[in-house]
Structure formats: C-alpha cells, structure tokens
Amino acid sequence: MSNGSYPAMLSLPLKPPISLNFKTLNPSKIKCCKSQIETERGHSFDTGDTFFRHESSTGRDLAVLSAAVHKKTHNSLRVLDAMCGCGIRSLRYLAEANADFVLANDANQDYGELISGNLEKAGVGKERWAVKHLEANRLLTERYLERDYFDLIDVDSFGSDSSFLRSAMCAVKLDGLMYVTCTDGYSSGGHRPQHTLAAYGAYVKPMPYSNEIGLRMLIGGALREASVLGYHVVPLFSCYSYHGPVFRAMLQLKRGKFPIKRHYGFISYCVQCGNSQSISWDKLSQMRCSCNNVPGSLVVSGPLWTGPLHNTSFLTEMLNLAEDWGWLGNETGKRMENLLNIMIGESDPKLPFGYIKVDEVSSRGKINSPRLNSLLHALHKEGYAASRSHIASNAIKTNCPMVDCVRLAKELQLCSVTDDEKLNRFIEA
C-alpha cells in the first residue's frame, strides 16, 4: 500500500516508556476494571473504567456516517482509532460503516481485554481488527515508517494537544480523512492567547463568536501542519458541542500546498459597529473598520481558517445515508436531521465567518428581540445570504452588515406593533 510521494517525516518528540517497578506495587491497591454496560445505536458494550460520555454520541454518529460515505466513494475503509477508550467508535466503524479493518489503540494496557470484548460484538472476523497499546504519536509514526496507511484516522484527544496532527497526516492516505478534536474552550475563548499560539499557531482574543473561533483555530492549525509536509486539508464538516466543550473537524488530506492568501488569515471584530472582516497577511498594517472605529475598538485574532466550515455535497450524502439507515424520524433522529440541515445551510460559500446573536441585534437597536425565523425571512427577502448557526441556537450567520440587521429588526417590530393594534381594534369593535 502506498501513500504517494510523502516527504521524509520531521522528527517528532516521543516520550520514553514509563518504567515501573512491580516489586514495589501493592497488589491490594491495583484497580480492577469494573463492568459498566451501555447501549448506543443498538450496540451493547462495556465502558469499564474508561472515560465515556453519552453526550458524545452525536460526534460518533457523524464519524460513522462520514466513514461510510468515504468507503462508498473510494471502495476502501481502513481505520485507525488512535485514542479509542472503551472502543465504542471502533465497534461502530466495523458494524455500521463496514470498515475493512480497524486498528483500535489506547495507551492504557489495562483496557485491552475490555476493548477486545467490545470489538468481538461487531460480529466480524478477528482478521478485520486489532488492538494496540501505544502512545498515539508513536503508533502513528510506526505506521508511517511501515508504509501502513489508513483511509481514516480518528484522534479523539483531550485539551488542546495538537502534537498528533503532523504524525496523523503522515499515516493517512491522500484523499483520506482525519477526525480531529479539541476540548480547550478556555483557550478558544481568547483567555490564553500564548497557549493557542504555541498549540495552533494562532493568537486568539475574546470575540462574540468564540466557539466558532475554536473550530477555525483547529482547522487553521491543521492547515499549517499540512503545509509543512507539502499538502493541505479541506474541512468536510466541523461541529461544536457544548458539553466539554468539544470542537471537532473532519478533514480531508489533499496534495499540494494551500494558497496562503485563500481562507487563511486574520479575523477582526469591531466593538463599535459589530461588524467582522478578514484581513490578509499583506494588509495587516492597514487594518481598520469601515465605520472609522475609535482606537481600541478592533479585536483581531489569527491566523485562522476563514473559509467554509462544511462541504455541502458531503453533508448531503451523510444526510441521505442517515435516512437510508433509519436514523431520522424519531426524537433522536429529529435532532440529527436538524443538525445536518443547519450545517448544510451554514456551508453556503456566500456566508462569512462568525455569527450574530439575535440578542446583540436587539441590544444595539434598543428593541425587543425579533423572532429568529422572521429575521431570517427578512434577510432572504432583501437578498442576503443567511442561515441558522449550529453552534448557538439564538444566532444567525449572514453576510448582512450589523446596521442593516438592526434596521430589519426594527421594521419587524414595527410590523408586529401594527398587527397588534389591528388586533386590538378588531377585539374592541
């Protein structure tokens, strides 16, 4: 199996193995893995003492749908689950996405029997899966050195650990997928700019759409790492979940460096007028807001990914597949259907980065908050691109300037007052 002409991989800092003196361990203090049976999408599995969250099931649903769509297109699906925990996602890759092979890895050797027991429930031959217990970067590096490449590499990491990005890119096939994660909401909110600069190469300041900034920070960091190797990544979808919080992105690795001026730059937000704009590297010294902002009103973060968060056609295939599998319709399915439809709406290339909260519109206009659907309808009627945001339920994504959003909200309130007056006159009559 070949991955094309990858350049020699840059050295990765690998930690030496931990040395344990088993003679000094007290057997009575060694913790046994307890049994904790859970069920997800009809699959019964044991979580034991591993870290497991029910709330992450949506992220696993999206991963399995993506894997199945990729196999349909490429007729191959070899998956490496680098931080598999109890192995539920590996189980679902086998049972639902019909993966040809899954390598489930967790650094904790105590979970070996539990992971194997869960994978056996997939009902496939043992030649289609294997379990490893290595540090993720070491495993990815070994796979690269052995020229053992994968169609999908899933790294469900904790915090803002971005050290795996480059090693994962070296072990994934060209046009293959990488499912990457960040759970550092404190940094994405702009509270540790030096930390985000070290982890993702972006200096992030507090902005009103910080949770979208977290996704763009993650994608931008991956794009930077890919460029070092002579490649680039394209986001097929990205998703924010409030629990954690969790920032996820499904990225496709492509040959060739990405044009530095396209979809990778700085994002500014003007506190004075509420508008946002992108700033390219060569225009940094000239940045200013069109409202002739007062000194200190412009907040700048970057460099970040400034392009679309999702791919419309890929999400549409995921939605169609979810319907074929019977995942849509009931209460749980309704949430999945709404999420995918909103993300498809967000993938409109006319929509800029960021979102506008309806509360901010009402605050700037000194009016009551308009109904979100009414505001969306008014924006479409005026010719603006607009959609809901999957990140914030009371927010919209639009290319409409803030001043026009406020104007439309005021007109909606005036129409509402007029309608109420008509209703009162009718009642009095």
**Residue 132 CA to its chain's centroid (Å):** 26
User: pLDDT digits over 304-337, tens only?
Assistant: 999 999 999 999 999 999 999 999 987 778 999 9
Contacts of 414 (CB under 8 A, 6+ apart): none
Q: Mean of the per-residue pLDDT values for the chain?
A: 89
Average of per-residue pLDDT across 408-422? 75
User: Which is it for the CA torsion 89, 91, 94, 97, positive or negative?
Assistant: negative
User: pLDDT digits over 48-78, tens only?
Assistant: 999 999 999 999 999 999 999 999 999 999 9
How many distinct helices (H) and strands (E) make up the chain?
Answer: 13, 15
- The closest alpha carbon to 44, from 98, 104, 95, 97, belongs to 95
| Residue 417: per-residue pLDDT | 60
Residue 78, phi then psi, degrees to nearest 5: -105, 125
Residue 106 CA to residue 37 CA, distance in Å, equals 19
| Residue 47: per-residue pLDDT | 96
Residue 101 CA to residue 125 CA, distance in Å, equals 10
Is the separation of the CB atoms in 377 and 415 below 8 Å?
Answer: no
- The partner residues of 235 in beta bridges, in order of sequence, read 251
Residue 246 CA to residue 53 CA, distance in Å, equals 12
| Residue 92: per-residue pLDDT | 98
